[in-house]
Amino acid sequence: MLSGQMQKSLNEQVNAELFSSYLYLSMNAYFKSLNLDGFANWMYVQAQEELVHAMKFYDFIARRGGRVILEKVEAPKKEWASPLNAFEEAFEHEQMITGRIHHLVDISLQERDHATNTFLQWFVTEQVEEEENTDGVVRKLKRVGNAEGGLFMVDIELAKRVFTAPTAQQ
């Protein structure tokens, strides 16, 4: 059974993960408008992963006898100054999400809610990867600078990312 505070905070995280998906879809549309299909692909895969994250929270709340409350999802930005600027914002966004996950862990510890704490550990690990992935692209883009050839090399690399649907255990 979830406490009122835990249920409210987990519901807020459903919304935050849905917003993440929306943000990355908007970045997908931005990159498509620049004909950077590899960048667009990376963001499309990321948007799908965020939906998986949202559903993990959704299902967990329901499994613990809680009530899922869906709120309005904020509209994301539509334009960025450059591919680097978009990925810098993606990295900042992931750092913010990490902070939110850690706050949820803090609540679970305060409440001695061990089941929620165990559930959240998957997200603690996932956020290390989320930050590493977005920061990795930021670093590459900083290295290539304004060189058109470099941008297209990164585009080819990002085109290789594929979405892997989670198994029941993941």
Residues forming the site for ligand OFO (CB under 6 A): 17, 20, 50, 53, 94, 97, 130
Q: How far apart are CA 9 and CA 11, in angstroms?
A: 5
- What is the H or E stretch that residue 107 is in? helix 83-110
Tally of CB atoms within 10 A around 7: 19
Q: Which is nearer to ligand OFO, 49 or 155 (CB)?
A: 49
Q: Which is nearer to ligand OFO, 17 or 113 (CB)?
A: 17
Tally of CB atoms within 10 A around 84: 18
Q: Which is nearer to ligand OFO, 9 or 20 (CB)?
A: 20
Q: Which is nearer to ligand OFO, 50 or 155 (CB)?
A: 50
Q: How far is the CB of 114 from ligand OFO (least distance, A)?
A: 23
Q: How far is the CB of 45 from ligand OFO (least distance, A)?
A: 12
Scanning 111-162, the segments in alpha helix (DSSP H) are 114-144, 148-158
Q: How far apart are CA 58 and CA 142, in angstroms?
A: 37
Q: How far is the CB of 112 from ligand OFO (least distance, A)?
A: 26
Q: How far is the CB of 37 from ligand OFO (least distance, A)?
A: 22
